[in-house]
Amino acid sequence: MDNVQPKIKHRPFCFSVKGHVKMLRLALTVTSMTFFIIAQAPEPYIVITGFEVTVILFFILLYILRLDRLMKWLFWPLLDIINSLVTTVFMLIVSVLALIPETTPLTVGGGVFALVTAVCCLADGALIYRKLLFNPSGPYQKKPVHEKKEVL
């Protein structure tokens, strides 16, 4: 008799932890940008958050359409980690600049959401780094202790 191995279905990006973190990051950045636009905050705040929204949308579309599997010549997880770190720095700068001076409540709200976005970006980068560190080809699986070889 033939042993038929069922194909392992890949979890869709939208239902993965990485997908949820990216969507949360997108929602927080859009909220921050909206607050900055309504408050008529300085233009760099709006431009930086707008740029981050487009980059996050690009990565979400890339992972939803599974283009990272087609374009193997680029190491997408490394680009994603670099993007997360750069976004963290930019959003920290924007949030500190928005929170330090006494400004309108909407600008302060945008700064608070930018700060939460920076924390979310750190979590996103850590999640991707952890996956790369443990096993770049799939989920991390621990081996039992009794399988270790003894050295004499």
Residue spans of the domains in the chain: they are: 43-134
Both tokens of residue 2? 């033939």
Q: Alpha carbon 104 to chain centroid distance?
A: 29
Provide the pLDDT confidence category of residue 143 given band limits of 50, 70 and 90.
Answer: low
Q: What is the mean pLDDT of residues 52-64?
A: 89
Exposure of 19 in the CB half-sphere (CA atoms within 13 A)? 12
What does the pLDDT look like over 70-126, one tens digit per residue? Answer: 787 877 778 888 889 999 999 999 999 888 887 888 988 999 999 999 999 998 888
Provide the pLDDT confidence category of residue 140 given band limits of 50, 70 and 90.
Answer: very low
